[in-house]
Chain A
Amino acid sequence: MGSVLINVPKKAKRGDVIEIKTLMSHIMETGFRHLATGELVPRDIITSFSCRYNGEEIFRADLFPAISANPFISFFTRATETGTFEFSWIGDRGFSETATASITVE
């Protein structure tokens, strides 16, 4: 169970380019680290992130162990209509989290 921080402007003018910032809490264990006993710590990362705007995918990312713990991703989109952003994070060991944010476009 992860906790998430999302930053989307509440209001925007039609056609405005807005920034969307997301932060998902996750260990992002690389799978390249060893315990003091020499045992390899298995990989546990988020592998995929996507954002839909009123059902249409506007952004997607493949994540690798090179992404820091608690992955922060920020990107841009054009505010076209009032509606909802749906965010989804999918990862190892059945990790799956979603979040939503709404925007009013005038």
Chain B
Amino acid sequence: MTAYYWSILHGALLTVGVSLAALLVSALLGMVGALAKLSHRAVFRVPATLYTTVIRGIPDLVLMLLVYYGGTIGINNLLELAGSEATLDLNPFFAGVFTLGFIYGAYMTETFRGAMLAIPHGQMEAAMAYGMSPRQAFMRITAPQMLRYALPGFTNNWLVLIKATALVSLIGLQEMTYLAKQASAATRSPFAFFLFTAGLFLVYTWVSLIVLRWLNARYSLGTKRVTL
């Protein structure tokens, strides 16, 4: 019995791995998406808008199944077209990370876009007046302040992303939800195992919340706080 708990605990490492890797992908996509959405060129703006609208209208699970099963067949069809005999199985870890990153990239895009818009326009003009290039202005003016404006939305996205990693179990990645389901099938005591897994998720979200609150306090240093 205890061996099952240990295996679930071990699976928690994979959950942490998937979520952190997906966070990295989504943050990168979010940054690119936000810049594209705020661009004055329609070539960048239109695809980015389409991306955020469509992704947020489709369930995570459907996208994940689409990428995992569809991706495997798609790659193998391409290999066949190229005349190769080899077949390839998409790894559930990468499928999960890629899909979660792709989905939450759309949410991050909106968060980052809002944060960029929150920076007063005059500061950008001042930076230009000092002769900074757009790149310099972004690195020196926009990026550091954006962090503070983006943190509350980022925190929300991160908490939702952690909980979405449970879905990766449905495409066969052996993270803690998957192991809990197997353990409960083997021992016929599902209640205890699922409760244990729920507890682990709770600890994970709770610890993240503490870290992000501390970060938020750090980045809000020196800002005026108004209370009613």
Decide whether A and B assemble into one complex. no
Residues of B near any A CB (own CB < 8 A): none
